[in-house]
């Protein structure tokens, strides 16, 4: 059915405001007022809001499904007649299944969990009073984490922050070790790549011109080159990000295999309305986290969801019998790190 026909079949109980919107749209369609694109987009937005109001509601009276179906058809009729160009921040593109760069994996081959748990026990036992008084979650410092992984994998530290990996394990794998705190639903960030010299100069221009795919490609080419280089120069097998992920009462090890061949599939998932950052698609399973490119920071960052510490491959290496703090001090600590 077309807009005029649907405008004459408004379901009962739609509401005065909604009925008024439908009458206005029907009249504007008839009179040709929709040459005003801003007016068209405003009415289109209001129609979509009506549909969002119906989402997730139980149809107790038997009329909600009728209203929802009618509103869906009316919206479709409007979109069919007037191709409505979305603003860039309204577009969202789904991940391609099975093409993620990061994939949760078992711990690196040869990692001695018994030794790992003992080292973490010794390390944290001297710091518990601090976490309690500072209202902080448990945490493992970066330099200690790299040293721990070197020891428990019979490996060698190779990076010291200058190449893509921190440790080459005894089995020949590369490991980039990171330490983050898991909040109620999301972690703080892990920086994946930042390069002012090679990519920073052009990034502001690409964001300004809304060339988001080009901005991501520029970073991903540089990212892949760094990973390929470390495999070639350090004779490595597979590459991993291995995270010490802390909560108020536990520390987990979660390992992510880096699928280098899938970097070519990374693209724009969604740009933010202010045009200051871009969510990347195909980098990580959305259930496990998100990856963003920031214009101001000129870097790509990973944030993990709480689901990763509940994954079968996640391994708890330290657990308190009960939390000793609320974790409220974590926010202030993160803000200081951002300054």
Summarised one tens digit per residue, pLDDT across range 206-257 is: 998 999 999 999 999 999 999 999 999 999 999 999 999 999 999 999 999 9
More reliable by pLDDT, 334 or 263: 263
| Averaged pLDDT of the chain | 90
- Residue carrying structure tokens 């803000």: 335
Give φ, ψ of 176 to 5 degrees.
-100, 115
Of 85, 114, 144, the position where a domain reaches its end is 85
**pLDDT value of residue 197:** 65
Please tell me whether residues 64 and 113 are part of one structural domain: no
Please tell me whether residues 36 and 8 are part of one structural domain: yes
Q: What confidence tens digit (pLDDT) does each residue in 133-151 have?
A: 999 999 999 999 999 999 9
More reliable by pLDDT, 200 or 80: 80
Spatial distance between the Cα atoms of 180 and 243, rounded to a whole number of angstroms:
7
**pLDDT value of residue 339:** 43
Spatial distance between the Cα atoms of 25 and 41, rounded to a whole number of angstroms:
11
What is the value of pTM for the model shown?
0.78
CA dihedral 271, 338, 142, 256 (to 10 degrees): -10
Please tell me whether residues 181 and 323 are part of one structural domain: yes
**pLDDT value of residue 98:** 85
Q: What confidence tens digit (pLDDT) does each residue in 3-19 have?
A: 989 988 888 888 888 89
Number of domains in the chain: 2
Please tell me whether residues 76 and 136 are part of one structural domain: no
Q: What confidence tens digit (pLDDT) does each residue in 55-79 have?
A: 766 766 668 888 888 888 988 899 8
Please tell me whether residues 98 and 78 are part of one structural domain: no
**pLDDT value of residue 33:** 84
257's enclosing H/E stretch is: strand 250-258
**pLDDT value of residue 120:** 98
Of 59, 85, 111, the position where a domain reaches its end is 85
Q: Is there a contact between 301 and 189 (Cβ–Cβ < 8 Å)?
A: yes
**pLDDT value of residue 332:** 59
pLDDT bucket at 111, cuts 50 / 70 / 90: very high
pLDDT bucket at 199, cuts 50 / 70 / 90: low
pLDDT bucket at 305, cuts 50 / 70 / 90: very high
Please tell me whether residues 167 and 223 are part of one structural domain: yes
Tokens of 52: 């969002």
Please tell me whether residues 110 and 245 are part of one structural domain: yes
Taking CA atoms, 312 is separated from 60, 62, 97, 112, 113, in Å, by 40, 43, 20, 18, 16
DSSP string, 156-220: EE--TTSSS-SEE-TTS-EEEEEEEEB-SSBB--EEEEE-IIIIIHHHHHHHHTT-HHHHHHHHH
Q: What confidence tens digit (pLDDT) does each residue in 243-256 have?
A: 999 999 999 999 99
pLDDT above 80 for 113? yes
Max Cα–Cα distance, the chain, nearest Å: 78
**pLDDT value of residue 38:** 85
**pLDDT value of residue 67:** 86
pLDDT above 60 for 333? no
Nearest Cα to 84, choosing from 30, 46, 27?
46
Domain region containing 38: 3-85
Spatial distance between the Cα atoms of 162 and 237, rounded to a whole number of angstroms:
19
Spatial distance between the Cα atoms of 319 and 39, rounded to a whole number of angstroms:
58
Please tell me whether residues 188 and 239 are part of one structural domain: yes
Q: What confidence tens digit (pLDDT) does each residue in 115-125 have?
A: 999 999 999 99
Q: Is there a contact between 275 and 144 (Cβ–Cβ < 8 Å)?
A: no
- HSE-up of residue 68 (Cα within 13 Å, Cβ side): 12
Please tell me whether residues 16 and 95 are part of one structural domain: no
Please tell me whether residues 265 and 200 are part of one structural domain: yes
pLDDT bucket at 88, cuts 50 / 70 / 90: confident
Which residues have CB under 8 Å from 131's CB, separation 6+? 137, 138, 139, 324, 325
pLDDT above 90 for 94? no
Please tell me whether residues 311 and 265 are part of one structural domain: yes
Please tell me whether residues 203 and 323 are part of one structural domain: yes
Of 85, 116, 138, the position where a domain reaches its end is 85
């Amino acid at each position: 059915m077309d807009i005029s026909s649907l405008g004459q079949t408004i379901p009962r109980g739609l509401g005065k405001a909604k009925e008024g919107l439908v009458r206005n749209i029907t009249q504007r369609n008839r009179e040709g007022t929709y040459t005003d694109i801003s007016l068209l987009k405003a009415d289109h937005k209001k129609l979509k809001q009506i549909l969002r109001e119906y989402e997730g509601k139980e149809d107790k009276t038997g009329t909600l499904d009728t209203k929802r179906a009618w509103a869906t058809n009316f919206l479709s009729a409007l979109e069919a007649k007037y191709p409505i160009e979305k603003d860039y921040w309204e577009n969202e593109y789904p991940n391609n299944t099975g093409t993620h760069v990061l994939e949760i994996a078992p711990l690196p081959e040869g990692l001695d969990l018994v030794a790992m748990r003992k080292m973490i026990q010794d390390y944290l036992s001297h710091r518990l009073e601090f976490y309690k008084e500072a209202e902080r979650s448990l945490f493992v410092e970066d330099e200690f984490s790299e040293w721990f992984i070197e020891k428990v994998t019979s490996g060698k530290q190779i990076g010291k922050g200058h190449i893509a990996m921190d440790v080459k394990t005894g089995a020949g794998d590369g490991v980039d070790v990171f330490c983050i705190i898991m909040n109620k639903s999301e972690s703080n960030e892990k920086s994946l790549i930042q390069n002012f010299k090679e990519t920073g100069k052009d990034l502001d221009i690409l964001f300004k011109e809304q060339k988001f795919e080009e901005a991501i490609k520029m970073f991903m080419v540089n990212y892949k080159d760094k990973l390929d280089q470390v495999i070639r120069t350090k004779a490595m097998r597979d590459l991993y990000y291995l995270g010490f992920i802390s909560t108020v009462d536990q520390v987990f090890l979660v390992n992510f295999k880096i699928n280098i061949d899938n970097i070519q599939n990374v693209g724009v998932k969604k740009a933010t309305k202010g045009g200051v950052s871009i969510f990347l698609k195909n980098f990580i399973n959305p259930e496990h986290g998100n990856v963003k490119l920031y214009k101001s920071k000129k870097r790509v960052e990973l944030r993990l969801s709480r689901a990763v510490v509940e994954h079968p491959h996640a391994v708890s290496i330290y657990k308190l019998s009960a939390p000793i703090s609320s974790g409220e001090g974590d926010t202030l600590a993160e803000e200081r790190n951002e300054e």
